[in-house]
Structure 1
């Protein structure tokens, strides 16, 4: 069990911090912290994000997954074509009504025969996903590019958000903002990532190696909770009823444990910096 729950500090701070990993359970099946992700299909089946020949290695609190080459694709549903191998956390993390929650972790990526400077040809990912609203806060990492992702997505089976009259709507109903960062990275280079969310202020913030690299206010849905997801992915639009996401490339990703810090009791969100 990869969790510890120290008592909060003093009443002015109201901080709780714990770890989430449990990657051994992917292999053992005991006290599962992670399952293969996926979504139900219209015909009653289920699409599982599982590369059949992926090699999964767990070293302590670190998870490494290699799929070389990638093979999974879907010719009709974009969200099923994108993720090739993905694990969902079995725990859903509750967002505090006041204060902030901060998720921090280390991650690195290596693309094999992926196209240079084309993030969407193959990347390693980490996600905060809310299947009750469709909100997603993510980091995508390739050999040479890192992007934050802020999205409201039509996940299969998730109720659609309220749809205002077109004449009154000032923002799209669904969206996905891939913010490619002007920062240098290299294949298999470790970085420390962080995503914080403040429900009371409808604000999400992204951190890389201790520095804020993105912030969005006016998050359109109140996120009451989220799961974590770890992926090997592409992001290429289906063309003429056919997936074009694969050309023999492969991906290797590695993730460390997640540190989750909850700061409540009205603590200023500015203090959520890693």
Structure 2
């Protein structure tokens, strides 16, 4: 029997961010102590159908550890979402990003993200935006016992989607278990796809503001120059579909190519 189910994970209509649904991301540091992806300048607002996060200016910088530098403020879903064994897992959310003092057309100086990640495999899928660019990211993190030195990679793809400061876009990220294929849609159009190097059985959702210029290439003054950002997300919807293939995938691909 074919089953497809869509649920709203969070519609952001409550008086604050629901701690039963979201928490600040925390990871082990190099010394074994937890590192929280949290900026002291963060301000939040919710209740009108979206969650809004502003960090202006960014204050969370470090000169050697990306865990203490890149994510200024990041939230993760409290639960993870299982991938149907031979079907499709889909996340949909609207995101709008406005940056302050961002270096124009620099993808990493200040940006907001829709994130899916799986720490068991090290796989990360992001849809990201700045004042002037929308791009996709696929990454496999270098995690001890998960991915060796040859298994780590980061790939960013700039899309042709036009955008402006604060302009909302509808982001849809899908993953199909049978083919290990991930797809990125923006405003209903397919903009990128990738076949993952390892299977993923579940994803955790995230929303964040980042500044992630290369620590080895840029000095602190080049990375910390007073930039900041506002991001808004919502509502989050998750669909599980156990079909081996779906006509909507073919249709959207034809729209992109045609």
Q: Are residue 230 (structure 1) and residue 207 (structure 2) matched?
A: yes
| Structural mapping, 1:127-138, within 5 Å | 127-138=115-126
**Deviations 1:216-236, CA, capped at 9 Å, x for gaps:** 12x111101111111110121
The whole-number CA distance in structure 1 between the counterparts of 2:119 and 2:15 is 22
The residue aligned with 2:75 is: 87
| Structural mapping, 1:1-274, within 5 Å | 11-12=1-2, 14-21=3-10, 23=12, 27=16, 32-155=20-143, 159-161=145-147, 172-217=150-195, 219-239=196-216, 243=220, 244-266=222-244, 268-272=245-249
The whole-number CA distance in structure 2 between the counterparts of 1:61 and 1:39 is 29
What secondary structure does 1:119 align onto?
A: coil
Shift, 1:47, TM fit: 1.4
The whole-number CA distance in structure 2 between the counterparts of 1:196 and 1:48 is 28
Q: Which ranges of structure 1 fall in alignment gaps of 5 or more residues?
A: 1-10, 164-171
The alpha-carbon distance between structure 1 residues 56 and 160, as it changes in their structure 2 partners (threshold 3 A), is same
Shift, 1:89, TM fit: 0.8
Shift, 1:153, TM fit: 1.1
Shift, 1:178, TM fit: 0.6
The alpha-carbon distance between structure 1 residues 26 and 235, as it changes in their structure 2 partners (threshold 3 A), is farther
Q: Does the Cα contact within 8 Å between 2:60 and 2:68 map onto a contact in 1?
A: no
* Number of residue pairs matched by the alignment: 250
Query: TM-score if structure 2 supplies the norm length?
Result: 0.89
